[in-house]
Amino acid sequence: TLRAADLPGLKTALTQVNGVDEVVIDLEDQVVTAFPRKGQAIFGPISRMIQDRKLDVSEVLLERGRLDEVFRTITQTGARS
């Protein structure tokens, strides 16, 4: 989860990071959350992308085992069955 002034711009940049599956903007909390592809570690590549592009990001949080990600995985699996 990342906090920045330009949420749409950050979302666009995050979708280009290798290993990122989905990027969601939470307008209420003013944050962007990037979800990894299964088995991918994205914290390092995202940190490097922020530094390389000199993006104005005020906060970067690494979250593990988010309940909404588990729910999304379960519901997507059920939809495929």
Name the residue ranges covered by the structural domains of the chain: 2-80
Considering the segment(s) 2-80 as one domain, its CATH architecture is 2-Layer Sandwich (3.30)
Number of neighbouring beta carbons within 10 Å of residue 57:
20
pLDDT digits (tens, 9 = 90+) for 2-54: 889 899 999 999 999 999 999 999 999 999 999 999 889 999 999 999 999 99
Distance CA 52, CA 75 (A): 36
Residue 61: the pLDDT is: 87
Distances (CA, A) of 76 to 48, 73, 79: 30, 5, 5
pTM reported for the whole predicted model: 0.74
pLDDT at 80 over 60: no
